[in-house]
Amino acid sequence: MPQNDLMARSIPTSRRAPQEETSMNQHSMTVRGKDRYKSGVMEYKKMGYWEPDYEPKDTDIIALFRVTPQDGVDPIEASAAVAGESSTATWTVVWTDRLTAAEKYRAKCYRVDPVPNSPGQYFAYIAYDLDLFENGSIANLSASIIGNVFGFKPLKALRLEDMRLPVAYVKTFQGPATGIVVERERMDKFGRPLLGATVKPKLGLSGRNYGRVVYEALKGGLDFTKDDENINSQPFMHWRERFLYCMEAVNKAQAASGEIKGTYLNVTAGTMEDMYERAEFAKELGSVIIMIDLVIGYTAIQSMAKWARRNDMILHLHRAGHSTYTRQRSHGVSFRVIAKWMRLAGVDHIHAGTVVGKLEGDPATTRGYYDVCREDFNPMRLEHGVFFDQHWASLNRLMPVASGGIHAGQMHQLLDHLGEDVILQFGGGTIGHPMGIQAGATANRVALEAMILARNEGRDYLHEGPEILAKAAATCTPLKSALEVWKDVTFNYESTDMPDYVPTPSVAM
């Protein structure tokens, strides 16, 4: 339906719920037979979009929405409206429904629960038949699920919290071009997080100066350096200059260390043709990795993932722009959904939060994102914001990236929160080192190796972390000086996005 029709529609006052709360999850109200198709307007919950007895099929896609109805709007009706408007419904009854297997195509809201401790908000569970979606297309999936409903007038706010993607649908996607296992084999790096840094300043360095930062950081001990999201091709540094000098730096650092190194060459550009051209040049130069920004769009991301698989390239995704719709708890799309879509779409790296750094990230919620990226099966864990069991059917694992305001002194906390299959990116924490970039990189690498060694030895590294670092610093001046400079840097702010469920201690059996 055209957007305008939807915007123009409102629920007449006569239909609004009585003052007392409708009891949730009552029986079906669906009108059946001839009456269902009488011309005119009918409540969504009577049109077949509210089916509390419906049991989702294994092949259904399930979406969980946080629905905030306008004052006085029945939450069941609001939730049924979301189901309707994200599948077959329009604002009025249409007879052409009767030319179709309409009951199959109707999304069915089958459960509505009040959100704990959030008056006026409801979790609506909506099941969609697999036939509503095109194989292997995030564009189609997202157009269906979030394409039409978020501006719906009877709602104050709407948030897509989570999705259950059936194996039958997962299997239609390529998934990460490389995956964690192959990335590690290709990079020849096992048993520890990988280390990276974003070149700073973000803007203004010439290609030659930029390559200098890359060389120093890689030679000092990092595995990767990275272009920032807005480093594309600007007057101060056109992309070919950057690529050429970066690859000189990578190869020189590789020879100096005997290790495989990489730098994420950002191929983000205004058109697909330009992106392919840049990616081809990166390949020609022997780069092991390229990067793209989330803002290029889902289809462009999937195209680049297919290109990366065909060309033996690791594909890094910078989640540029995601906070515009992921951060607020009441409206938008949760990042856990974006992470699921990106695993399907086929990127190899995704920024997924640091917990301790400068950017938003509650520990439990972040843990949920990391699980979505890295596990083959995600069990429902409400305390991590994971609402559904999710099987990934051996789709490649996606390496999460922790970036933004982290430093060597937090190594024990980072390892504890984020585990070992992660890329830790210390931009300022490398380049801002008082003894220089190489020293900054060395400090991070020594801190990391010392922490892994201690963890594997069975030490309580989280609590003994500062002690372990201090001991490693005794034989490593760069680490000593890093610990001194950043010892008091923490970012303790209230999170804006946290799980709604908190585990309650139960008696151990």
Partner 1 sequence: MRITQGCFSFLPDLTDEQISRQVQYCLEKGWAVNIEFTDDPHPRNNFWEMWGLPMFDLRDAAGVLMELTECRKVYGDRYIRLSAFDSSHGWESVRLSFIVNRPKDEPGFRLDRHEVAGRNIRYTTMPYAADRPEGRRYGGS
Q: Which residues bind partner 1 (CB under 8 A)?
A: 181, 184-185, 188, 190-192, 221, 240, 244, 247-248, 251-252, 254-260, 284-286, 376, 394, 397, 442, 445-446, 449-450, 452-453, 456-458, 472, 475
Cβ neighbours, 10 Å, residue 29: 17
Specify the pairing of strand 155-164 against strand 122-128.
Answer: unpaired
Cβ neighbours, 10 Å, residue 261: 24
Q: How far, in Å, CA of 456 to CA of 459, rounded?
A: 7
Q: How far, in Å, CA of 218 to CA of 5, rounded?
A: 56
Length of the chain equals: 509
User: Cβ contacts of residue 408 below 8 Å, gap of 6+?
Assistant: 426, 429, 443, 444, 447, 469, 479, 482, 483, 486
Tokens of 390: 């999710």
Q: Between 235 and 458, whose beta carbon lies closer to partner 1?
A: 458
Contacts of residues 23-28 at CB distance under 8 Å and 24 or more positions apart, as own/partner, are 24/75, 24/76, 24/112, 24/113, 24/114, 25/52, 25/111, 25/112, 25/113, 26/52, 26/76, 27/52, 27/53, 28/52, 28/53
Shortest spacing between CB 143 and partner 1, in angstroms: 32
Q: Between 247 and 338, whose beta carbon lies closer to partner 1?
A: 247
Among the listed residues 108, 219, 261, 318, the single catalytic one is 318
First to last CA, the chain: 55
Q: Between 56 and 221, whose beta carbon lies closer to partner 1?
A: 221
H helices of 346-406, in order, are 363-374
Cβ burial of 62 (10 Å; 0-12, 13-18, 19+) is buried
Phi-psi region at 117: left, alpha or beta (left = phi > 0; alpha = psi -120 to 50): left
Tell me if residue 226 is catalytic: no
Shortest spacing between CB 247 and partner 1, in angstroms: 8
Cβ neighbours, 10 Å, residue 16: 16
Q: Between 481 and 495, whose beta carbon lies closer to partner 1?
A: 481
Q: Do residues 365 and 389 make contact, with C-beta atoms less than 8 angstroms apart?
A: no
Q: Between 6 and 187, whose beta carbon lies closer to partner 1?
A: 187
Can you tell me whether residue 178 is helix, strand or coil?
coil
Shortest spacing between CB 448 and partner 1, in angstroms: 8
Tokens of 350: 């995704």
H helices of 109-166, in order, are 138-146
Q: Between 18 and 258, whose beta carbon lies closer to partner 1?
A: 258
Among the listed residues 189, 200, 252, 283, the single catalytic one is 200
Tell me if residue 306 is catalytic: no
Q: Between 68 and 390, whose beta carbon lies closer to partner 1?
A: 390
Shortest spacing between CB 256 and partner 1, in angstroms: 7
Q: Between 195 and 231, whose beta carbon lies closer to partner 1?
A: 195
Q: How far, in Å, CA of 209 to CA of 246, rounded?
A: 10
Q: Which residues are catalytic?
A: 200, 318
